[in-house]
Each structure stands twice: as C-alpha cells, then as structure tokens.
Structure 1
Amino acid sequence: MNLFKRAWWRLRGHLGKTVMLVGLFCVICTLVLSGFLIQSAAARAAESAKHSVGVVATMQLDLNALINSGRTEQPDGSRGGMIGAEGDLSRSLVDKVCESSVVTKCNYTKDGVAAPTDQVKLHQPVPPPAGQDSGGVDFFKADGIRDLNGVSAFRNGDSKIVSGSGIKPDSKSDMVVIEERVAKDNKLKVGDKVKLNANVQNPDGRLSTKETGFTVIGIYRSNIGDTGTYVPPMAAPANQIYVTPDGATRLDGKELKAGGGVVKEATFTLRDPSDLGRLKKDAEAAGVDLKIFPLSVNDKHYQALVGPISKTADFASVTVWLVAVAGTVILALIIASNMRERRKELGILLSLGEKKPKLLGQHLVEVVACAVLAIGFAAAGSQLLSQAIGDQLLSGEVSSAKESAAAEAGRPDPSDPTGGANKQDGPEVAPIDEMDVRLGAADITKVGLTGLGIAALATIVPGIRILRLNPRDILTKGD
C-alpha cells in the first residue's frame, strides 16, 4: 500500500495526536521564527546606524614607533633626547587626508596652554588659600581645534557662542575664542586685539615666555558655573580658550612652517568600519607615514547606538538554538513513544513484506505534514509576537545601558580637581530603542528549513531502531 495513503489515514484517524503534534510544532516554529525576525530587525537597525552615525578613525603619533625608527634627536650630555620635527603631524598633511572620499567629517586638535598677561588675566573668583601654591597651573587651557562646532561641549549644548563666531576650518592663526567670564573680567569684546604669553623652550632647556598677538573673534558661554571653592586656574571651565591648531603652535613658541601648524590628534568620521582600508591608502598617498602616525578606529558612538539591540539579537540567537535543540529532543521522545504504541501495526506491515525504509518514510511524512501546517500557522502570527517580544527585550537592554552609562558618568575622577565639573565628554547618541520587525520570504524559508530539519531528526533518530528489528521481535517483545 502507498505510504502516503497510510500516513493520511493515520493523521485523520487519530486527530487528537495530530492536533497535539501540530500544536507542539507550531510553538517551536513560532519561537524559532520570532528569533529569526528579531535577528533580521537588529541587523537592519545596525546597518542603518552605520550610515547615520559612522565610525571615527583617529590618527596620532606613536612615540614608541618613532623612537624605534631612529628619527628622534639623540641625547646630548645632560640633555635628554628630543622628539624633533619628525614627530610633528602638520595641519596641511591632515587636510589632504580629510579630502578622502570615505571621510564624511574630519577634525583635528592641538593641546596647548597660554600664560596670562597684564592685558588678559585669568578668571579666579576664589583666591588660593594662604600658603597654598597653584602647582604651576596658572595658565589658560588653549585647545587648538579645526572647527568649534566639532567640540563635544558645543555639540551637546553645554557651551554656545553668545557673541561673534567660532573657530572654523578657514580661521586665521591669530584668532581666539574666550569665555564670557574672562571677557567680562578683562573688559574684552569681539574684535579686540589681545596678547597672550607663549611658552618658549630655550636651547638650554629652560622655559621662557613670549607675547603673542591674537584677535578675539568670539565669546562663548559655558553652562558649567564656578564651583564656589578654589580650583587651579587651568582647571576652571572659564579659563578654557579656543584657537586654531596654527594658533596653538604659536603658543608653543614655534614658527609656522609652510605646512601650517602642528596637530596632535586628527579624527576622521567614516560611513563604515570597512572604509578604514581605503582611508589608509589615501593617507599614504597624501604622504603620511602610518607607522609613525597610525590610524585606529574608535566605534564608541556606533557601539553605544547598537549595543542594546545587538544584545537583544544575541539573546534571540541563543533562543533559536535552545528551542531547536529542545524541540528536537521533545519531538524525538514523543515520536519514539508513538512508535512503541504502534508496534503491532509496524510488525504486521513488516510481516506482509513492507520495506523498513518505507515504514520510516511513512512516519516522516506524517511528521512533515504536521510541520508544514505548523509553519503556516507560525508565519501568520509570528510578526506580532516577535514585535512584542523584541520591544520588551530591547526596552530592558536600553534601560540597563542607560543605567550603566549614568553610573559611569557619575563616577568621580580623582585626577580632576574640579570633581568632574569640567568634564565634557558623555554619551552623544541615544541607543536604538525600537525595532522594525518585518516578515519576509527569506525568514519563512529559514524557519521552514529549520522546522523540516527538526522533523527529520526527531523521526529518523528513534526510527533507526525499526530498521534493526524483524517482525517476530516487534510482535513478541513489543519495544
């Protein structure tokens, strides 16, 4: 008799067991399909995030590589070795790298300090306690930047220009932006010519000062107020000034060369981490020695954006595997039990000359038929279930990420005398807190193959025993 007919009669004749098997398969396929849908939604969100926030590649001096290259100045007598011009990353060279087709945004910085003069004094609302030394930090903190809008304090709104304009890529080397408290203390306004003391290193290694002229092009306001207690002047938020990288080079007491000022660190925003290879080629073509000034990727913002949804996808992936394995084991036990109950049927069919593979095939057809029905039911309801489960899991991960970020932000920095009042870096992107679950043909195909694979394993593994027995053993021993 045709094994398909026998399978059909068996399914119709035992509707209760058929419904139970379809129901069990439906639960398994629904959970598996939900896991696939959550994974797909997370992958789409992560891909979208790559293009929306990008990743940041950083270029800066590797001092060990420079020393190993032998390009540093050798020690002379009591003087130590000097880094020399080989350790300088020129602004014009970085500007060439910024023109790379894979760079969506670039910025560079140069740390520096400026000593006060009779014309421009530090903002110090609380004098130091009697007998306490300032520790040699009676300076303005002068950051040389390419674009003031790229500074985190201005991006997140902690600081804003209240008069004039900020530093821009085409700003001249004598332009400076000061905080309004310093402007008020020194009665300065936009357009005023001021002098700041640059720090010059003499040939004998000693430091001296040199008055350097600047023009105030902007006055900004920081929402970080005075602490009400004494802090070293350079740590006070009001004593933060901004100049161009060329201006910061001048404050180092160095003459500007044809390539412009010296840059300490350059950052390049890329659309995708895979663009790093192309950026390296463009940097080498521009003349950068990547052994001395290596490029490294910082995907902090990208990870902050996709961290929770990636963890949700990982959880869904683990769920898929657990459900698949557990479902296979449970179905195998049910089918094995079912085969023991049908021992007489199997023995009679074998006695009538039916081939053992066909008996196994009949069981496989029955289980596959139940699986196909279950896959159809799962496809009908999985999208709504996946959306609900995914949103709930993602909500928990987002809450956990925000709590971790808050705890990290609230942790005091013992090296910061302001107790964190001058800290500007923080989360600049909010993690993805929703996912778009879509049911597609590829997802149905994957769950279909998974469901059929589970059906095959759950049937074949216990059914192998049938191929090892003869009719007499089955009818007399029964198992």
Structure 2
Amino acid sequence: MNLFKRAWWRLTGAPGRTLMLVGLFFVICTLVLSGFLIQSAAARAADGAKKSVGAVATMQLDVNGLLASGKNDGRAPEGRQGGTIGTAGDLKRDLVDRICAASVVADCNYTADGAAFPTKTTRLHQPVPPPTGQDTTGTDLFKVDGVRKLDEVGAFRNGDSKLVAGKGIGPDTAKDEIVVEERVAKANKLKVGDKVKLKKGDLSNGMPTEEHEFTVIGVYRSGTPDTGQYVPAMMDPANQVYATIEGASLLGGRTTDGGGTLKSATFTLTDPDDLGALKAAAEKAGADLGIFPISVNDKQYRALVGPITRTADFATVTVWLVAVAGTVILALVVASGLRERRGELGILLSLGEKKPKLLGQHLVEIVACAVVAIGLAGAGSQFVSQAIGDQLLAGEVDSAREQAANENLRPDPSDPNGLARQGDDEAESQPIDSLDVSLGPADIAKVGATGLGIAALATLIPGARVLRLNPRDILTKGD
C-alpha cells in the first residue's frame, strides 16, 4: 500500500494527535521565525546606522613608533629648539589634506594646539587673582586651539558654545584670523574686525618678546560660567582662543611649513568598514602609518546599535534554544507514538513492507504537520516578532540610557572645576529604539528549512532505533 495513503489515513484517523503535533510545531516555528525576523530587522537597522553615521578615524603621532623608526634625529627647524622627537614627528596639514580627498572620506577635521602670552593691549580674563606669592608664569596664557572648522568642534556641535558675533574658523580662513570668547572680548573692548597682538606661548628660548598681530573675526560664548574661585588662566574656558592651524602652530612655537603642524586629524568614513581603504589612501599620500597610525573610533555607531545588537543576540540564542528543545520534545513524542504503534509496524513488516518505507510514512506524517504549522506561523509571526522585539529592545534601550547618564555624572578628571563629565556629540547619540520587522521569502525559507530539519531529526533518531528489530521481536517483545 502506498505510504502516503497510510500517512493520510493515520493523520485523519487520529485528529487529536495530529492537532497536537501541528500545535507543537506552530509554537516552535513561530518562535524560530520571530527570532529570524528580529535578527533581520536588527541587521537592516545596523546597516542603515552604519551608512548614516559612518565612523571617525583618528590619525596622530605615535611617539613609540617614531622612536622605533629611527627617524627622530632631534633636528628642529629654524627658530625652534631641537628635541628628542625632531621634525619627523610633525604631522603636516598638507599631508592630511591629501588624505581628506580620498573617496572613502565623507568629512575630515584636524586640530593643532598652542598657547599665547598676553600683551599690553590684550589682557587675559581672570576675575579672581592668583594667591599671593604663586608663580603663574607658565599658566598665565591664552589656550590656542587650531581647527579646520569651528562648527565641528565638540563644544559647538553639542551646543555648549555658540557664536554670538562674526563668523567661525573655516577651511578658507586666513592664518592671522582668530575667534575669542565673549568675556575676553568685553575685558579688552574687542569687536569683530579689531586687531589684537599676542606673543608665542613657547618658553623654550626664554620669555618671548616678539608680538604677532591677529584679526578678530568672531566672538563666541562658552557654556561654562566663572566659578568665583581662582583658576589658572590657561585652564579657564574664557581664555580659549580658536585659530587656524598655521596660527596655532605659530603661537605654539611649531613649524608652519606644509600648512602648519597638527596635533591630530579625524576622518569621518562613509562606512566603518572602509578603514582599510583609508589606510591605503594615507600611504599613497605619503603618510608613514608606523609613525602616524590610524585608528577608528566607532563610539557613535556602537551607541546607536548597541541595544539593537544585544536584542539580535538574544534572538539568536532563542532560536537555538527553541530548535534544540523542539527537536528533543518532538523526538520524545514520536518515540512514544512509535511504541504505541508497534503492532502496526510488526504487521506491516510481516506483510513484506520495507523498513525505510515505514520510517518514510512517519516522516511524511510529521512533515505534513510541520508544513501546516509553518504556513500558520508565517501568517502570524510578523505581529508576534514585532511585539517581542519592541519589548526586548525597549529594555535594552533603557539600560543603555541609564548607563550613559551614569557615565555623564562622573566627574571629569581633566576639568579644573571638578564638574561632571560633558558628553560630546558622539556620546549623546540616541540608540535605535524601534524595529522595522518585515516578512520576506528568505525568512519563510529559513524557518521552513529549520522546521523540516527538526521534523527529520525528531523522526529518524527514535525511528531508527525501533526499526532495527525484526517483525517477530516487534510483535512478541514489550517496550
């Protein structure tokens, strides 16, 4: 007799058992398919975040790499005292500009640090004088930061500082133009367009006497107020001056050759996976990556996708647990059914039926139940997975935000005022808090393969053990 007919008669003749198998498969397939859908939605969200946020790669001097290279000849350009690093440790702006032109770079910025002594016509903002007898020669300076774009500086991007007059530093800003803080502007009665004179903040050749003239092109307001206590002038945010790379290099006593000397450069990549292409572009531009290594800071990307990645990981674990547990449970159910049908098996074998066909009949019965369950799971799993995914993701997002809030409440050791840590624009990135679950043919194919695999294992493992017996043993022996 045809095994498919026997399977059909068995399924219709025992509707209770058939419904139980369909229901069990429906639960298994629904949970497995929900896991697959959550994984797919998380992967799509992560890819979208990767493309929209990109990653920030940083390039700066590695002193150990320079010393290992043997290029630290100690020679310095004219006007600068020689040291142990030498000119080989200077990261030139012209080099970085060539790297910025690479196709994988969506945007770039760079900084240079420097300092400037006040002059008779340009005073520091120092509302509280230093304690009597304290030597402030090394701290009574303006802190000068050279930038490519002022609006890319963290304090301006997150709103802690903002321009109140004039314009900021840009790629086309002249080397003798600066932006000063509002309190310094008021103390010196400065307005946009005025000239100021500053001295180099470099004591390597003694106290500088040469004055350099700059034009004020902008005035900004810092979000950090005066504390009412003495703060070294160079550490007071009011004495922060922004200049071009060449201007900061000049005031910092470093070479201005090659467009100025940088402290570091950052490159925003269109895709975090483009780091290799960026390094290749840097080497082509002439950079020695042993001395100036490039590393990716994907903090913003990780902040965005952290909760959704953990949700996807949980879904993956769930899929495996459900698959294993489902296989075990179904194998026990099939084994129990085979024991109950020992008589039927023995009679069929006595009549000459082949053992593989008997096992095939049971496999057809289980697969038929699995196919029905997969169809039902496909109809309802999108709603189930959306609800489960949103619930899991909400918990992960709450945890991530709580952790970020705790981090921002910790005192910043670099802040002279002992204030809480000010999160930069990357740390303030809000994590992805929603899943876009959609069911596609690939998801149905995966859950179908999983369901049929479970059905095959659950049938073949116990079935092979029972059918090793001959008809006489099956009919005469007990369990």
TM-score bucket of the superposed structures, by smaller chain: over 0.9
Q: Paired residue for 1:59?
A: 59
Q: Paired residue for 1:93?
A: 95
2 CA distance for matches of 1:180 and 1:266?
Answer: 28
Q: Paired residue for 1:401?
A: 400
What does the per-residue CA deviation read over 1:72-109, in whole Å, with 9 as the maximum and x for residues that have no partner? 1359xxx9952111111111111111111111100000
Q: Secondary structure at the match of 2:197?
A: strand
2 CA distance for matches of 1:460 and 1:7?
Answer: 16
Q: Paired residue for 1:121?
A: 123
Tell whether the 8 Å contact from 2:199 to 2:208 is kept in structure 1 after alignment. Answer: no
2 CA distance for matches of 1:229 and 1:477?
Answer: 96
**Aligned pairs, number:** 474
Q: Paired residue for 2:312?
A: 313
Amino acid paired to 2:261: V
What does the per-residue CA deviation read over 1:289-314, in whole Å, with 9 as the maximum and x for residues that have no partner? 22211211111111111111111111
Alignment RMSD: 1.9
Say which is worse superposed, 415-424 or 167-176, in terms of deviation.
Answer: 415-424
What does the per-residue CA deviation read over 1:279-331, in whole Å, with 9 as the maximum and x for residues that have no partner? 22222222212221121111111111111111111111111001100111111
Q: Secondary structure at the match of 1:52?
A: helix
**CA, structure 1 residues 422+351, in 2 after alignment: closer, same or farther (shift >3 Å)?**
closer
**CA, structure 1 residues 32+377, in 2 after alignment: closer, same or farther (shift >3 Å)?**
same
Q: Paired residue for 1:28?
A: 28
Amino acid paired to 2:410: R
Q: Secondary structure at the match of 2:59?
A: strand
Amino acid paired to 1:408: E
**CA, structure 1 residues 475+101, in 2 after alignment: closer, same or farther (shift >3 Å)?**
same
**TM-superposed deviation, 1:273:** 2.3
Q: Paired residue for 2:145?
A: 143
Tell whether the 8 Å contact from 2:408 to 2:422 is kept in structure 1 after alignment. Answer: no
Amino acid paired to 2:196: V
**TM-superposed deviation, 1:272:** 1.2
Tell whether the 8 Å contact from 1:235 to 1:418 is kept in structure 2 after alignment. Answer: no
Amino acid paired to 2:147: I
**CA, structure 1 residues 357+24, in 2 after alignment: closer, same or farther (shift >3 Å)?**
same
Q: Paired residue for 1:370?
A: 369
Q: Secondary structure at the match of 2:309?
A: helix
Amino acid paired to 1:391: D
Q: Paired residue for 1:171?
A: 173
Q: Secondary structure at the match of 2:202?
A: strand
Amino acid paired to 2:161: S
Tell whether the 8 Å contact from 2:410 to 2:420 is kept in structure 1 after alignment. Answer: no
Q: Paired residue for 1:337?
A: 336
Say which is worse superposed, 306-315 or 218-227, in terms of deviation.
Answer: 218-227
Tell whether the 8 Å contact from 1:107 to 1:267 is kept in structure 2 after alignment. Answer: yes
What does the per-residue CA deviation read over 1:28-67, in whole Å, with 9 as the maximum and x for residues that have no partner? 0000000000000011111111111111111111111111
**CA, structure 1 residues 90+80, in 2 after alignment: closer, same or farther (shift >3 Å)?**
closer
Gaps of 5+ in 1: none
Q: Paired residue for 1:13?
A: 13
2 CA distance for matches of 1:378 and 1:99?
Answer: 51
Tell whether the 8 Å contact from 2:410 to 2:421 is kept in structure 1 after alignment. Answer: no
1 CA distance for matches of 2:177 and 2:422?
Answer: 25
1 CA distance for matches of 2:91 and 2:358?
Answer: 78
**TM-superposed deviation, 1:359:** 1.0
Paired residues for 1:231-250 under 5 Å: 231-250=231-250
Amino acid paired to 1:302: Y
Tell whether the 8 Å contact from 1:212 to 1:250 is kept in structure 2 after alignment. Answer: no
**CA, structure 1 residues 255+361, in 2 after alignment: closer, same or farther (shift >3 Å)?**
closer
**CA, structure 1 residues 209+49, in 2 after alignment: closer, same or farther (shift >3 Å)?**
farther
Tell whether the 8 Å contact from 2:175 to 2:243 is kept in structure 1 after alignment. Answer: yes
> Is residue 2:293 matched to residue 1:291?
no
2 CA distance for matches of 1:227 and 1:398?
Answer: 36
Q: Paired residue for 2:349?
A: 350
**CA, structure 1 residues 387+424, in 2 after alignment: closer, same or farther (shift >3 Å)?**
closer
What does the per-residue CA deviation read over 1:98-138, in whole Å, with 9 as the maximum and x for residues that have no partner? 11111110000012222222222222223334455558322
Tell whether the 8 Å contact from 1:235 to 1:422 is kept in structure 2 after alignment. Answer: no
Tell whether the 8 Å contact from 1:332 to 1:457 is kept in structure 2 after alignment. Answer: yes
Q: Paired residue for 1:195?
A: 197
Q: Secondary structure at the match of 1:344?
A: helix
Q: Secondary structure at the match of 2:201?
A: strand
Q: Secondary structure at the match of 1:117?
A: coil
Say which is worse superposed, 445-454 or 344-353, in terms of deviation.
Answer: 344-353
> Is residue 2:360 matched to residue 1:361?
yes
Say which is worse superposed, 27-36 or 131-140, in terms of deviation.
Answer: 131-140
2 CA distance for matches of 1:424 and 1:239?
Answer: 21
**TM-superposed deviation, 1:371:** 0.3
2 CA distance for matches of 1:446 and 1:83?
Answer: 59
> Is residue 2:43 matched to residue 1:43?
yes
Matching residue within 95, 101, 104 for 1:102? 104
Tell whether the 8 Å contact from 1:343 to 1:478 is kept in structure 2 after alignment. Answer: no
Q: TM-score, normalised by structure 1?
A: 0.95
1 CA distance for matches of 2:128 and 2:7?
Answer: 91
Say which is worse superposed, 397-406 or 124-133, in terms of deviation.
Answer: 124-133
**CA, structure 1 residues 315+422, in 2 after alignment: closer, same or farther (shift >3 Å)?**
closer
2 CA distance for matches of 1:308 and 1:283?
Answer: 34
Q: Secondary structure at the match of 1:112?
A: strand
Tell whether the 8 Å contact from 1:4 to 1:365 is kept in structure 2 after alignment. Answer: yes
Tell whether the 8 Å contact from 2:147 to 2:244 is kept in structure 1 after alignment. Answer: yes
Q: Paired residue for 2:78?
A: none
